[in-house]
Amino acid sequence: MNIAIALTETPAGIERLADIAPEAIIRVMPHGPALEEHLDWAQVVFGNITPDQIRRAPRLRWAQLNSSGFEPYLTLKDSRVLLTTAHGITSSACAEHVLAMMLIFTRRIAYFGQRQRERAWDRRPQILGSLVGQTLGIVGFGANGQALARRAKAMEMRVIAVRRTPAEAAPPELDELWTVDRLGEMLAQSDHVAVLIPMTAETRGLLGAAQLARMRRGAFLYNVSRGGIADEGALIERLRDGRLGGAAMDVFEQEPLPAASPFWEMENVIVTPHLGAAWGGMWDAAFDLFCENLRRFRAGAPLLNVANLERGY
């Protein structure tokens, strides 16, 4: 078995691969010319090689991505190569990021940061809020949504989620679990709305002008999923006219976010550079997942996180 590790650095604990697959020949190579030279050789790849490289690898049987999203790979629907993702390894970090943004808005952390720089001692308790008793609406209830719901419930919030498929009953971390056809109803009830749904043909533009207009006055929007799910132009209008209290945006239709974007200068917006799900140990976690899948691959067992290229998530 020929295994190509398509990363810029050798993973910690790479010697584990020899224990899992003693017969394997393992080569670590960065993206670029070094990898291109080995496309004819590799049977297994760990790392985000491009869809075009997958097509040009005649012996490739399985590619393990080190990312959760796989939108660029949807063109491989007819490929014989098995594709698996790193779904789930960043769920805790993603949930913590949204919760942090919620607390920044509710506890006015940015405001007091400015007061600190002005050396102003502002002790008006009426400007502060609490998450207790507020409603969080979660758009998408996969691993990220579930992790966020558990944390929000611990903060004594009411938590509602919508997803594509129906459920017989809501899990303990939710007060309500609805299908996406009730999105407007959820938006109207929520003080905070977190977008945690994958980007597919069905979800692109899901939060358009009409949906954003249904959000509760003074509510906050958090997008840590993909740019293009929420209409950015309509969102800017709702933020400017005071309809919405604020937005924390980690993803955008164009990345990097252009310098001319209004988001940069809006006082009620927090911009982060598509790092909402990142954490220091995520690459180690991705390698752990690859090791487990390699054991399964050799044994002929089902692999974890097989990408559904028809469904898109």
Q: Please state the rounded mean pLDDT for residues 122-144.
A: 96
Provide the pLDDT for residue 134: 98
Q: Are residues 289 and 202 part of one domain?
A: no
When pLDDT is cut at 50, 70 and 90, the band that residue 35 belongs to is confident
Beta carbons of 244 and 222 less than 8 angstroms apart: no
Residue 31, pLDDT above cutoff 80: no
pLDDT exceeds 80 at position 30: no
Mean pLDDT of 187-216: 96
The DSSP letter of residue 303 is: P
Residue 206 has pLDDT above 90, yes or no: yes
60 and 135 assigned to the same domain: no
Burial 115-133 (b: 16+ CB within 10 A, else e): eeeeeeeeeeeeeebebee
- With respect to residue 307, please indicate whether it lies within any of the assigned structural domains: no
Which H or E element spans position 262?
none
**Is residue 13 located within the same domain as residue 56?**
yes
Query: Does residue 313 lie in a domain region?
Result: no
Residues 15 and 156 in one domain: no
- Tell me how crowded residue 38 is: count the other CB atoms within 10 A of its CB: 15
Are 134 and 124 a contacting pair, CB within 8 Å?
no
When divided into structural domains, the chain yields a total of 2
User: Residue 152 is encoded by which pair of tokens?
Assistant: 């929000």
- Same structural domain, 75 and 102: no
- Same structural domain for residues 189 and 250? yes
What's the mean per-residue pLDDT of the chain? 95
Assess whether 287 and 258 both reside in one domain: no
Please report whether residue 308 resides in a domain: no
34 — pLDDT class (breaks 50, 70, 90): confident
Q: Is residue 305 part of a domain?
A: no
Catalytic residue among 156, 255, 292, 311: 255
Q: What is the CATH number of the domain that holds 210?
A: 3.40.50.720
171/103 same-domain check:
yes
pTM: 0.93
CA distance 162 to 139: 5
118 catalytic per annotation:
no
Is 286 inside any structural domain?
yes
> Same domain, yes or no, for 139 and 288?
no
**Is 171 a domain residue?**
yes
Q: Which residue has the tokens 């945006």?
A: 249
Catalytic residue list contains 255: yes
CB 23 within 8 A of CB 44: no
Catalytic residue among 97, 216, 226, 238: 226
The model's pLDDT over 110-120, given as tens digits with 9 standing for 90+, comes to: 999 999 999 99
165 or 238, higher pLDDT: 238
Residue 168's pLDDT is: 83
**Percent above pLDDT 70 for the chain:** 99
Q: Please give the backbone phi and psi of residue 207, each rounded to the nearest 5 degrees, phi first.
A: -100, 80
Catalytic residue among 274, 295, 296, 298: 274
Q: Which of 183, 205, 306, 196 is nearest to 248 (CA)?
A: 196
The answer on 60 and 85 residing in a single domain is yes
Tokens of 193: 């709305």
Same domain, 264 and 293: no
Domain that holds residue 237: 91-271
62-105 pLDDT, tens digit per residue, is: 999 999 989 899 999 999 999 999 999 999 999 999 999 999 99
Assigned domain for 174 exists: yes
Q: What is the largest CA-CA distance in the chain?
A: 68
- Going by C-alpha positions, the residue among 152, 236, 155 that lies closest to residue 193 is 152
Is the pLDDT assigned to residue 196 strictly greater than 80? yes
Q: Are residues 96 and 84 in the same domain?
A: no
Percent of the chain with pLDDT over 90: 89
Q: 3 and 43 in contact (C-beta within 8 Å)?
A: yes
Find, among 106, 99, 101, the residue nearest to 128 by Cα.
106
Burial class for 27, CB neighbours closer than 10 Å (0-12, 13-18, 19+): middle
Distance of CA 147 to the CA centre of its chain: 12
Helices (H), ranges, the chain: 16-20, 33-36, 51-55, 91-106, 109-117, 143-154, 183-189, 209-213, 232-240, 282-299
138 pLDDT more than 90: yes
Q: Please say if 237 is a catalytic residue.
A: no
Position 295 in a domain: yes
- Sorted by sequence, the CB contacts under 8 Å of residue 112 that are 6+ apart come out as 122
